[in-house]
C-alpha cells in the first residue's frame, strides 16, 4: 500500500498535456476545486508553461514539473535552484548518479521534492542494449532505484506494474508516482501497460498521473471526481 498521510484528492495529478497556456488555464478553471495537483511537461513547459507553474503554485495548487533533467552536475544544480524558486512541488530528473547527486544537493533547504525516472517505459532490453547498456530493464530499474534512494531522491516515477516490486525494494521511504492509469471503460490511447486507479493504489502507488482520461472527458470535473472516489475506495 502507499504512504498513508495524503488525502485521496491530493493523490491525483492531472497532466496538462496541452499546447498552450490559454488551453491549460481554461482546463484548470474548468476543473476548479476538483483537482489540486497538476503536471507540466515538455509540451506546455516549452510553450510558456513555466510562468504558469509559478502562477498555479501561487494560487495554492501543487505542480509537478516533468522536465526530466540530465546534464553535467553544475548545470543540473543551477537549473534545480531556478526551478525551486518557482514554488513547484515535484521535479523529475533522469536517474544517473551524478545528476541525482547534484539535484539533491541543490534543492536542500527548499520545499522541492525530486522524482527519479529509472528507465523510460518506452525502453525494452533491446533498446537498452542498442544504447550501450549491459543490464536489462528489470535489473537497471532496480539498480537505479537503489541509487536514487541512497542519494536522497524523494521518489520514483514508474509504471503501475513496477510499483509493487519497487515498493518492496525501496520500502516506504520513497514516493511512487505512476502514469499509465485508465479508469475502467476509458480509452487506452497509446498506453500499453495500464491499470485502474484502484489497482495502482493497491500496488503501492502514492500519486497517479492522469492525462487524457480527464482532459478528453466530456465532463473533466466528473472524470477527476470519479478517479478520486476510486482512490478513496482503494485506500479505505
CA distance 37 to 172: 21
211: contact with ligand C5P by CB under 6 A: yes
Residue 72's Cα: distance from chain center in Å? 23
Is the CB of 77 or the CB of 186 nearer to ligand C5P? 186
Burial 200-224 (b: 16+ CB within 10 A, else e): bbbbbbbbbbbbbbbbeeeebeebb
CB of 220 to ligand C5P, least distance (A): 12
- Options 155, 180, 183, 197; binder of ligand C5P; rule CB under 6 A: 180
CA distance 177 to 157: 5
Binders in 148-177 for ligand C5P, by CB under 6 A: 157
Given the residues 39, 61, 68, 168, the one annotated as active site: 68
Question: Would you call 100 exposed, middle or buried from its count of C-beta atoms within 10 A (0-12, 13-18, 19+)?
Answer: buried
121: contact with ligand C5P by CB under 6 A: yes
191: contact with ligand C5P by CB under 6 A: yes
Active-site amino acid positions: 68
Q: Footprint of ligand C5P on this chain (CB under 6 A)?
A: 15, 17, 41, 121, 157, 179-180, 189, 191, 209-213
Amino acid at each position: 500500500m502507499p504512504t498513508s498521510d495524503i488525502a485521496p484528492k491530493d493523490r491525483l495529478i492531472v497532466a496538462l498535456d496541452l499546447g498552450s497556456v490559454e488551453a491549460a488555464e481554461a482546463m484548470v478553471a474548468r476543473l476548479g476545486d476538483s483537482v489540486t495537483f497538476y503536471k507540466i511537461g515538455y509540451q506546455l513547459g516549452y510553450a510558456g508553461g513555466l510562468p504558469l507553474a509559478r502562477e498555479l503554485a501561487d494560487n495554492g495548487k501543487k505542480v509537478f514539473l516533468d522536465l526530466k533533467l540530465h546534464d553535467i552536475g553544475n548545470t543540473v544544480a543551477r537549473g534545480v535552484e531556478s526551478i525551486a524558486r518557482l514554488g513547484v512541488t515535484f521535479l523529475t530528473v533522469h536517474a544517473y548518479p551524478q545528476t541525482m547527486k547534484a539535484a539533491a544537493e541543490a534543492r536542500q533547504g527548499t520545499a522541492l521534492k525530486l522524482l527519479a525516472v529509472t528507465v523510460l517505459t518506452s525502453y525494452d532490453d533491446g533498446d537498452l542494449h542498442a544504447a550501450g547498456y549491459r543490464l536489462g530493464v528489470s535489473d537497471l530499474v532496480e539498480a537505479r532505484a537503489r541509487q536514487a534512494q541512497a542519494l536522497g531522491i524523494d521518489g520514483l516515477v514508474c509504471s503501475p506494474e513496477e510499483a509493487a516490486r519497487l515498493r518492496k525494494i525501496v520500502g516506504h521511504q520513497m514516493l511512487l508516482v505512476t502514469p499509465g492509469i485508465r479508469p475502467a471503460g476509458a480509452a487506452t490511447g497509446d498506453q500499453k501497460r495500464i491499470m485502474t486507479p484502484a489497482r495502482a493504489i493497491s500496488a503501492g502507488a502514492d500519486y497517479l498521473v492522469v492525462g487524457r482520461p480527464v482532459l478528453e472527458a466530456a465532463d473533466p470535473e466528473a472524470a477527476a471526481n470519479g478517479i478520486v472516489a476510486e482512490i478513496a475506495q482503494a485506500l479505505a
